[in-house]
Structure 1
C-alpha cells in the first residue's frame, strides 16, 4: 500500500466547509453556467473520505477521487496497479476464439495467402497493425485491405471479398468490422473464401455464416468482455495464437513478445473510447509503459513530423496522435494509418507521417468551416425553439469524413444530441448524417424509430451515436419527427445537463503534488473521466487570446495564483466571462504542462459561473 501523504496545507474543501451563501447560490437556485450546465457540488463528506484514507493508507485527495469512482478500500491496489496477470481473460472463454486461432495458425504454418480487412479508424488500424507485426515475426506478410469510407462505406462488401478471392487469397481476417456484414459474408461463403471475423460491435440476430466469429458482444459469448475495443479483442487473439503454437511444439523463445504490442492495443482502446475498466485499464497502463521504450517507428515519425514530443500520456495519444491517424480515413487514403503503425523503417514511416499530417491540416480547416456553419444553424434553432431536444444541422458539400466529429464537438458545446447531415456529389443520391448524443438520450433508438417510420432510407446506432441516410427533401421532416414529443426527453435532457464536481480545491493547492495524486488515480478515458475540480471566487487578473480562439488567463482565489487556459472559447459565453477583474467560480481539470523538459501546473477551464 502507499504511504499516507500529509499535505502541506489545506487542499480539498468539503460541503460542510463551504460558504453557505455561495453553496445556496450554486446549488439551490440551479444557476446555469456559461455552458448551460447545472453544477452539482462534491457528494463526498469528510467522514467518508477520512475512513477511506485510514483503511487504504492513502491521502485524503486521492481517497476522495477513488471514492467518487466507486472504488472500495479493499480494491485500491488492483485499481491503482492493474496487471494483465490479474485481469487478462481466458481466450477460450470467447466464442469461436479457439477455432479462429486454429484456422489462422493452420494458414500461417502452411504458407497460405492471408489478408487482414480493417476498418479505417484508429481501432481498426491498431488491430490490423498488431496482426501484421505478429505475422512478420514469422517472416510472412499479410495482405492489407481497408475500404474507402466514401466509395465503399463501412465494413466488408461482396465486391471486396470477390476482389480478394480473385487475387488468390486463401483466408481473410476482418478486424473492427464484419459482425454485421451478413450479405458480404454470405457471398464469401458462396465463393468458398474462409473469413475469420474479429469484432466488438453489438450484434443482433443470428451469427452470420463464416469460418469463425470472435466478438465479446455476440449473443452467445460468455467471456464477459463486451467492453473491449477491437484492438483488445485482437490482443487476446494473439495470446490464443501463441498458445496454439505452443501446443504444436513451438518453444516460447520462438514466439513473439506480446507485451511489445501493448502500445498499439492501448492506442486503439483509448481512441475508440472503450470503457477504462477491467482489463482495458491494464492494457492502457501497461501500454503507456511500452510507449516509454520508443520502439514504435510510426508513432515516433508522426510525432516528429507534427512537432510533438514522443507520446507518453493518454492525452498525447487521444488528442495528439489519434486525430492525425484518423485523417487518412476521413478525407484521404484510408490505408495510411495501418501502414504507418506497421512500418519498421523510419524513412518509410516519415513519408507516411507527412501525408497524414498534411491531410490532418486539411481536415481541421474543412471541419472548422463546417463547424461554423452548423453552429450558426443550431444557434438560430435554439433562438426560435430553446427546448429543442435533438439538434439537426445540414448543408450541401459538407464532407462526409468530418460530419461525425463535427456532431461530437457541437454535442459537447450545446450539451444535447446533435445530428449533422451532408449531401452532394461525394454522398451519392442520398444525404448522409452522423449523430452524437449525451447520457440519458438514446440517439440510436431515436434514429431507428425514424427509419421504422419511413422517414429515413436507413439508420440506426447505439445510445451515444448513430448514422442515417435520408432524402434531402425529408431533412426538415426528420427534424420535426425527432422533436415532436419533447416531453419524452425533458427529464433525460435535464439530467444530461448536470455536471458532478469531484472536489473543491484552493488555488494554493494546485501544485505538482496534486498532479501526481491525480495521475495515480488514472488513466482517464471513457467511463473514467478526469476529475472535475472547482475553484471558487477566483478573480481574473489577466486574460489574452492565444491561437485562433483560445484564452490564456491568470486567476487568483485569495490563496494563490492559477495559470489557466480555455480552448475554443473566444466569442462564446465562456470566453466572454474570462475578462480582467471578473470574479468567477471555475470548473476544470488540473493538467501537467511539459515544455522543453520542464513541467508546470496548468488549469484547463471547462466551465464557469460569473459571480461579479
Structure 2
C-alpha cells in the first residue's frame, strides 16, 4: 500500500511520516485516478476498501476485480480457436490419433517443457495412442529441435512430431523433418519474428499474426488449450462413442506447475489454471508429483511457493546436470515404484546442483561487482567463466538480476571457443528481443527467448561486443 520516496513532495505524507527510520518520506501509492478506481471497485463489487486499494495498486481494472479474486475457469477459458493455426493443429493431431499414426512429442528440458510433454502424452494415451517423448540434452543438443533428432524420430517410425515449448524458430530442423516426410505441429509461446518455420501448424500466441491476446500463457497453458481443441474435434467425429472421454481437468496440476515455474504473469487465465491446478494437485492423483512432493517434504496443501521453490527446481535439476528426460518421465508415469525412483534421483541431482550454484554464484557476483565498480555500471550485466556448468547458468543469471536489479547474463565458456549463456531480465527490458537482435547483428551465433528470459550461444571473442550491444539496447 505504500511506496517510499526520497524527494517527492507532491502529496501529503502518508500517516504524517515525513521521514522514516531509513530517512525516506512515505507517500500514498495510489494517485488520484487509481484512488477513484479503488473507490469504484469497492462500491460496485462490495469489496473492502483495503482490498480494492491493493487491486488498484496492482493495476487491476474495475471490471476485472471479480475474476482476479475468484478466477473461475468456466468464465476465463477462451475458445481455443482464437489462437492462429489452432484449428489446423487440432485437426492434424486428431487425424494422427484416428489414423493410428506414430506420434513423437519433442519437448524442452525445463519445467514448462516437462509439464507440456507429460500433459500431451497423458492426453494421447487417454485417446488410445501411446506416443513417445524426446527431450534434447541441454549440453550436447541445446534448446529445441535439431536435424539429427528429427532423423532419429523418423528412423523410429514417427509420422507426426508435436513440438511443445519449442520449435518456433527451428527452421533448419523443421526443414529436415519435412524432407524426411515428418509432419510437424508446433505448440509454443516464445517470441518469434514474421517468418515461421515449415510446419503444418504453429500455435503460438506470441506470433505476430495472432490476435488472441493470450501471449502471457506458458507453453503448458497453450498445450492445454490444444488438448481441449483436439478433444473437441474427436468428439465431433464420434471418436468417443462407446468409450469414455478423458477428464481434461485432472491434468490442471501439470498446467499449474508449468505456469508458476515459467514465471509468467499470474493474470487472467493463468490465475484460473493455478488456482484450480493447486486443488487438483492436492488430491495427489499424479503419482509422480506425489512422489516428488514427498521427497521435497512438502507439508500441507500445495501453494505457488511449493511449486516454484520445491518441486520446480527438482524437475529442472534433471535437465541441468542429469538426464533431461527425467522430469517429463516422472510427470507422465502411473507406476508407483518408478515414481519413487525418479523422484529420489531428481532430489539427489538438485542437491548436487545447489553445490555447483553456490560456487558459481560467488565467482559471478565478484565479476559483476568489478564490472559495476563505483559507478552505476552497465545496463546489462554479462558474466562468463570457463569453470561454470552450462546447465546452471540460468540460475546464476536470475540471482544476479535479483541482486543488482538489472538484466543479467551468465555464460559458460566451452573448450571449443563457444559459450552457452542464459539471461534473466527485469520489467521494461525485453531481453529475448535484444538477444535476437544480437544474433541478427552477427554478434551471437544463435539465441532467443521471451521478454524476461533468453538463451544464446556466442564465441568467446565476441563477449565485449555483446556487453556493449546489450547495454546500448537496454
Same fold judged by TM-score > 0.5? yes
Shift of 1:452: 5.0
Shift of 1:399: 0.5
Shift of 1:18: 3.3
Tell me: CA distance 1:312–1:424, structure 2 relative to 1, closer, same or farther (3 Å).
same
Q: How many residues align?
A: 460
Q: Quick one: which of 285, 292, 302 aligns to 1:312?
A: 302
Q: Quick one: which of 127, 134, 137 aligns to 2:123?
A: 134
In structure 2, the residue matched to 1:117 is 106
Q: Quick one: which of 161, 165, 168 aligns to 2:154?
A: 165
Shift of 1:458: 3.8
Are residue 188 (structure 1) and residue 186 (structure 2) matched?
no
Are residue 333 (structure 1) and residue 323 (structure 2) matched?
yes
Aligned mates of 1:198, 1:374 — CA distance in 2: 35
In structure 1, the residue matched to 2:400 is 410
Q: Secondary structure at the match of 1:70?
A: coil
Q: Secondary structure at the match of 1:25?
A: coil
Tell me: CA distance 1:470–1:73, structure 2 relative to 1, closer, same or farther (3 Å).
closer
The answer (yes or no) to whether the contact 1:303–1:311 under 8 Å persists in 2 is no
The TM-score normalised by the length of structure 1 is: 0.70
Question: How does 1:362-511 map onto structure 2 within 5 Å?
Answer: 362-425=352-415, 428-448=416-436, 450-451=438-439, 454-480=442-468, 482-483=470-471
In structure 1, the residue matched to 2:90 is 101
Tell me: CA distance 1:410–1:164, structure 2 relative to 1, closer, same or farther (3 Å).
same
Aligned mates of 1:455, 1:246 — CA distance in 2: 50
Shift of 1:330: 0.8
The answer (yes or no) to whether the contact 2:35–2:56 under 8 Å persists in 1 is no
| More helix as a share of residues | 2
Q: Secondary structure at the match of 1:254?
A: coil
Shift of 1:454: 4.5
Q: Quick one: which of 154, 157, 166 aligns to 1:177?
A: 166
Deviation per CA, 1:102-152: give whole Å up to 9, x if none: 222222223221111111111111111111111222343211101001111
Are residue 268 (structure 1) and residue 258 (structure 2) matched?
yes
Q: Secondary structure at the match of 2:402?
A: helix
Q: Quick one: which of 343, 346, 362 aligns to 2:336?
A: 346
Structure 2 stretches lacking a partner, 5+ long? 1-11
Whichever of the two has the greater Rg, that structure is: 1
Deviation per CA, 1:225-257: give whole Å up to 9, x if none: 222111111111111122112111224972101
Aligned mates of 1:164, 1:473 — CA distance in 2: 36
Tell me: CA distance 1:219–1:442, structure 2 relative to 1, closer, same or farther (3 Å).
closer
Aligned mates of 1:170, 1:462 — CA distance in 2: 30
The answer (yes or no) to whether the contact 1:303–1:310 under 8 Å persists in 2 is no
Q: Secondary structure at the match of 2:95?
A: helix
The answer (yes or no) to whether the contact 2:256–2:273 under 8 Å persists in 1 is yes
Deviation per CA, 1:18-77: give whole Å up to 9, x if none: 3223399314xxxxxxxxxxx975236797556643443222321221121233444332
Aligned mates of 1:271, 1:400 — CA distance in 2: 20
In structure 2, the residue matched to 1:6 is none
Tell me: CA distance 1:122–1:21, structure 2 relative to 1, closer, same or farther (3 Å).
closer
Aligned mates of 2:23, 2:284 — CA distance in 1: 50
Q: Secondary structure at the match of 2:284?
A: coil
| More strand as a share of residues | 1
Point out the more displaced range, 430-439 or 226-235.
430-439
Deviation per CA, 1:442-476: give whole Å up to 9, x if none: 44454455545544434454443333333324434
Higher relative contact order by CA 8 Å / sep ≥ 6: 1 or 2?
1
Shift of 1:93: 1.9
Cα RMSD, aligned residues only: 2.5
Tell me: CA distance 1:472–1:41, structure 2 relative to 1, closer, same or farther (3 Å).
farther
Tell me: CA distance 1:445–1:184, structure 2 relative to 1, closer, same or farther (3 Å).
closer
Q: Secondary structure at the match of 1:368?
A: helix
Q: Quick one: which of 75, 79, 95 aligns to 1:90?
A: 79
Are residue 281 (structure 1) and residue 271 (structure 2) matched?
yes
In structure 2, the residue matched to 1:43 is 30
Aligned mates of 2:35, 2:463 — CA distance in 1: 54
Tell me: CA distance 1:460–1:84, structure 2 relative to 1, closer, same or farther (3 Å).
closer
The answer (yes or no) to whether the contact 1:305–1:354 under 8 Å persists in 2 is yes
Shift of 1:432: 2.3
Structure 1 stretches lacking a partner, 5+ long? 1-13, 28-38, 490-612
Q: Secondary structure at the match of 2:385?
A: strand
Point out the more displaced range, 291-300 or 257-266.
291-300
Q: Quick one: which of 17, 20, 24 aligns to 2:18?
A: 20
Aligned mates of 2:28, 2:267 — CA distance in 1: 25
